[in-house]
Structure formats: C-alpha cells, structure tokens
Amino acid sequence: MLHRWIFVSIASLVTATTLGQEITSNSTKSTAASSLACGAIRHDLGSSIVESSGSEYNATTQGPWSLFNSVNQPTCIVYPRSASHVQAAMSSIFQFGSHYSVQAGAHSAMVGWNSINDGVLISFAHMTNTSYNQQSDTITVQPGVHWGDAMATVEPFGVSVIAGRASDIGTGLLLGGGISFVSPLYGWSADSIKEMDVVLVTGQLVTATATNKYSDLFRALKGGANRFGIVTRYELYPAHTGTKDQKNWFGGIIVYPGSSSVALNNASARYIREVTDPKAGLIVILNTMNLTAVDANTVYLFYKGANLPTNIFGSFLSIPSTSTSLSLLSYYDISNLIAGSSRGNGQQFGASSWIGDEGTFLKGYNHLINFTRAFETELLTSDMIISPIPLSQWTARSSRGVNAIGDPGVPYAAINFHLIYPAGVTTIPTDVDAGFKLLLSQASSSPGLPLYINECDASQNVFNTYPTFATLQKTYAKYDPSRFNVEHTAGPIGL
C-alpha cells in the first residue's frame, strides 16, 4: 500500500508539474496573441479607438455592475464607433487567435462574460444611439445603450422598447431572450427584434432577419447569448404603451415582512398555474438573509387597466404587508421603478425553472434558506426572484420568428437565486461557490423546462435545457466551424 501511495504521489507531482508548464505556456501564448491583435487593431483604427491605459480605459474596466468583473485588465480596449470598426477588431482577433470579450451594458453577473485579462475587450461605450422611425414603426438601437435611456428617447412618441425590468440593463438582454414587465402581452424581449447586423468571428458582417438566408442565425441569436456573433445594430418592433402622461396601468410595489414568505411562495405558485390574462405583470423578490425583517420581501405587480383584479392578484393583496404603494401609472413609470445601477459589490446568479406547484416552490425556497444560513457571514444579501413565464409570452410574437429557447408548452416561473457579496470581496469564495452549486442541484428545474440564460450561473449548461438544443448546435457549427468563439471568449457552456 505504501509503494502504491508513493507511486500515485510521484505521478500526481509529475502531472501537476506538466500541467503547470502547460498553463505557463498557454498564458504566454495568450499574452502574445492579444498583444499582436491589439497592435494590429491599433494600426488599423488608431490610438483614439484602441486604448491600453488612461482614464477611459480605467472607467471601462471598473464600470461593470458586478465587482467580480471589474478586476480584470484587458491588453487593450477597442471603442468602436461603427460596425466596420468591430469588423476590423474581430478580424485581427481571429487572425492572431486572441482571447476577447464584449461589453455592452456591463450588467452581467457571470464572471468574465463582459471582462477579460490578457485579451481584447470590445466596449460599446460610444455606440449608444436610439431612434424611432414613425413610418416603419420600428426602433433602432445601438448595442451600447441602456434600456432606461432608450425608453426615455422614444417615450414622447408613445412607444417603448420591450426592455429589461431595471433601467441599467443593456442589450445583452435581447441575446438572452429577455423578460420584460410587458412580456406576457408582447412576448420575450428578443421576439421584438426585426433584424440585426452581426459581425461573425471571422469579421464578416451580415444582416439577419426571420426570413432571409440568415434566418437560422437570427433564431440562434435570440437566446444564444454571446455565442453566435457580435450584434452592432438592432431594429426592433415597439410596444405601443403610451407616453409618460398616459396612466393606463395600475400597480406598483408591496413590501411584506419575512413572516409572509411561505404565503408569498404559495401565492406565486398559484399565480403561475392559474393566471392567463396577458395584461397582468408580476415579479416577486424573497429575501432569505433576514427572515425576521419587516421589509424582507418585495412584490411588483401591475395590470393594464384601472385597478388590480382580485381574481388575479387577490392572493397577494390578502397577505398582510408592511407598506403598499399602488396607483395609476404609465408604462414609463413602471419601467423606472427598478434602477439596478448600483456598483461596488460582487453579484452571482443561479437559474432554475418551476411549474406552478406549491410544494416545488416551498422546497426550493427552503433549500435557499439552508444555503443562506450556512454562508450568511460571507454574504450581504441572498434573494429568490420569481418571474412568471405564461403561455402568452410564447404566442404573442410567434409570427415574427421563433427564438432559440423553445416553447415547453406549459406556464412556468423563471427562478433567479441572486447573491450579493460584501464590498471589497473581489472573487467568489470557493466554499460559497461549492455550496451554491449544491443549491442549484437541490432546487433544480421541473422536468422539461428551459433555464433563463440571463440569470444563470456560469457553470449551468443552459443550452442543453432548450427544446431546440440540437438545432442550436447545428447552427453554431455552421457559423463557427473552427469553434473560435467557445475557445476564445467566456460565455454559456454546452455548445
């Protein structure tokens, strides 16, 4: 036994030494590739567009919503002003085999998806325009826009983008599918896309629509996150929601004590199972860090009408609350209730999907409580966020091209386990991360339901949960046969 232990130990030492040499070699190659790519891009586009230091460089690296993505230092940052600039950058990245990342709204909880070390970062900080064409009834946005700014630009025309529920979220929302407060009425955010200009990994620029020769790419981009190309222009169908002076919605915020958590779980499960009216909107946030707090849980609820119908929201309205703020609202008011712009803390997401079953909701919530109690000294907050995905969300925009996710045929809830870490914590602690992954396995999805990629943990194979997974794989192989994207930039696993 002793001889066997010595043999294994020596073998492990040799393997570790070899692995260390490989890592050093790969690191050297990565640094060389990114340096060559940056030099070539700077030669083509100039030093005003390609930066490796300075105030704008620092602001970009330190600007991501999650602190975990603000510690990386790219070899250079490219600030394109046009699609041609992105083409030039991607051509050199591809030629020299450099690692790269893309930063649009910078509102990602997944580490490394919008930041990078030893690589090229493409920042859309200078491509932030929004415009509305009344003749075509379409909204065009550049990839660097935040939805709050886009909505403010088009609001005077009585229209809105089908955007995120926090004004600070960017256009990556569309590539992940996208859940809006009006999604039950208008569909997934991605379903509002009419066409996209896309730079492929080789630097080729194409325009993808639901009906042209790139219709397969068009579908894949709507839920495929950053794996299928870099979008430099979105043309969107608007939602005709009215101006900010048109108070055609009713709703707002109800805050509940921690003692309401079980009742809120049950009300949420019932809502998912029973509510079919697409004019209703809901998001439930349950805090598991302080179960005795008087302001532990928050519910945002809305209805396109003069009041909140009790047959839809009665379960929530009957639960004793701490405070209530309900009134007539415009959609513009609703879309600005959640700012989401606070910086300075590490963020971590984890996704699950549940049918409307009280037992399923309570079991998952209790697993989160157990996790939180185990690691509460290392966390600032721990929440469970419930987003209804009704059947109407799939049928509302089906005539404008299906998305990559795929309709499972039943209503369900997208669940986001959201952790916020204390200020100054710059990496996810190993023990917390291991516990979080255990939580995700314990509170796993109901069979046959897709995960929401914008709220996943980086370790989750979201693509494999899509009913369209096989089609998605074929499309990826078609547009990136050398697998450059999955080997050179961080993003969803599984392709």
Q: Which of 372, 367, 388, 362 is nearest to 299 (CA)?
A: 388
Q: Which of 408, 492, 460, 449 is nearest to 221 (CA)?
A: 492
Distance CA 133, CA 135 (A): 6
Cα 447 off chain centre by:
22
Distance CA 265, CA 449 (A): 19
Distance CA 385, CA 283 (A): 7
Domain covering 130-242+469-488 assigned CATH 3.30.465.10 in the classification: yes
pLDDT score, position 17: 36
Which one is the CATH code of 249-464: 1.10.275.10, 3.40.462.20, 2.30.110.20, 3.30.1490.190?
Answer: 3.40.462.20
Distance CA 464, CA 384 (A): 23
For 436, half-sphere exposure in the C-beta direction (CA atoms, 13 angstrom radius) is 27
Q: Please, what is the angle between helix 430-442 and helix 358-375, to 10°?
A: 170
Cα 160 off chain centre by:
20
DSSP category for residue 133: E
Distance CA 41, CA 214 (A): 28
Q: What is the dihedral of CA 326, 327, 331, 335, to 10 degrees?
A: -40
pLDDT score, position 398: 62
Q: Considering the chain, tell me which residue range(s) the CATH 3.30.465.10 domain(s) occupy.
A: 130-242+469-488
Q: Considering the chain, tell me which residue range(s) the CATH 3.40.462.20 domain(s) occupy.
A: 249-464
Q: Which of 203, 228, 204 is nearest to 218 (CA)?
A: 228
Q: Considering the chain, tell me which residue range(s) the CATH 3.30.43.10 domain(s) occupy.
A: 2-123
pLDDT score, position 26: 65
C-alpha angle 116/441/439, rounded to 5°? 75
Q: How far is CA 420 from CA 408, 423, 458, in A?
A: 31, 9, 16
Structure tokens at 7: 């043999």
Q: How far is CA 126 from CA 78, 142, 173, 199, in A?
A: 10, 9, 19, 17
Distance CA 345, CA 382 (A): 13
pLDDT score, position 80: 98
Residues 208, 212, 217, 219, CA torsion sign:
positive
Question: How is domain 2-123 classified at the CATH fold level?
Answer: 3.30.43
Q: What is the dihedral of CA 287, 300, 325, 330, to 10 degrees?
A: 150
Cα 137 off chain centre by:
27
Per-residue pLDDT of the chain (495 residues; tens, 9 = 90+): 333 222 223 233 333 333 334 434 567 788 899 999 999 999 999 999 999 999 999 999 999 999 999 999 999 999 999 999 999 999 999 999 999 999 998 999 999 999 999 999 999 999 999 999 999 999 999 999 999 999 999 999 999 999 888 888 999 999 999 999 899 999 999 999 999 999 999 999 999 999 999 999 999 999 999 999 999 999 999 999 999 999 999 999 999 999 999 999 999 999 999 999 999 999 999 999 989 999 999 999 999 999 999 999 999 999 999 999 999 999 999 988 887 667 899 999 999 999 999 999 999 999 999 999 999 999 999 999 999 999 999 988 666 778 999 999 999 999 999 999 999 999 999 999 999 999 999 999 999 999 999 999 999 999 999 999 999 999 999 999 999 999 999 999 999
In this prediction the pTM is 0.92
Q: Which of 430, 359, 348 is nearest to 385 (CA)?
A: 348
Distance CA 450, CA 405 (A): 7
